Amino acid sequence: MKIKDNFKIDNKIYKSRLIVGTGKYKNMKECAKAIKISGANIVTVAVRRVNISDKTKPLLMDFIDPKKITYLPNTAGCFNSKDALRTLRLAREIGGWNLVKLEVLGDKKNLFPDMIETLKSTEVLSKEGFKVMVYCNDDPLMSKRLENVGAVAIMPLASPIGSGLGIQNKINIKIIRLQTKIPVIVDAGIGDASDAAEAMELGCDGVLINTAIAKAKKPFLMAEAMKLAVQAGRKSYLSGRIKKNIFGAASSPKFGII
């Protein structure tokens, strides 16, 4: 059954609600194949780690066509506002990218976002004309502040980056979704297909996945699983689930019993 259900970011509509990272794969060829299988229309690109400008080395563009797939430059590996701003300004200079993912980490062990630096950076980038999708913690108050200073998408973590622990605070994610007018995309901590489906069933607009696919024993199979999970979770959310009840409710008629 087809229903009108657009996934729009910065006034552009995307078919897939699954966003895939380009890091941690064995090579660019494996990365490109996994992305194709996933059906993703957007891929994140770590400007500080992935080669997008040195033509003497393998270029990501040779494997993933930026005319067919939207590149989302990110600031992975940045631990302060200064480095994050410089990285994204460089990305715009190299590829003309205005739609970006901001990620300012607070420490190297837990990789939680530094929300003070993140908020400050979001405001600066928005004023400079960037369309900022923001990686953040699952704090509803801070998420609203990010929206208020110009973010085009809120990307709360499910759990620590690369942990595979799944969604640890469903209540906060739900609150963020209910109070936010812009897209909410769960980012970081997804481990398997059920985690992705759960994020979508909470009403989130999309899911960003890297490690769970790239480091799976069979990354291509996992890429397909995540694709289907996101689709199923979205359909489940749109269908309007039954209310939870602590008592049983017979599915057969109560009257006319032989």
Active site residue ranges? 101
- Please, which residues bridge with residue 186 across strands? 207
The token duo for 137 is 């913690």
Exposure class string for 165-185: b at 16+ Cβ within 10 A, else e: ebbebeebbbbbbeebebbbb
Quick one: DSSP state of residue 255?
S
Cα end-to-end span (Å), the chain = 37
Quick one: DSSP state of residue 32?
H
Kind of pairing between the strands at 12-14 and 7-9: antiparallel
Contact 186, 204 (CB under 8 A): yes
Could you give the CA distance from residue 227 to residue 31 in angstroms, rounded to a whole number?
15
For residue 137, the one-letter residue type is N
Could you give the CA distance from residue 17 to residue 29 in angstroms, rounded to a whole number?
23
Could you give the CA distance from residue 96 to residue 130 in angstroms, rounded to a whole number?
11
Could you give the CA distance from residue 57 to residue 190 in angstroms, rounded to a whole number?
31
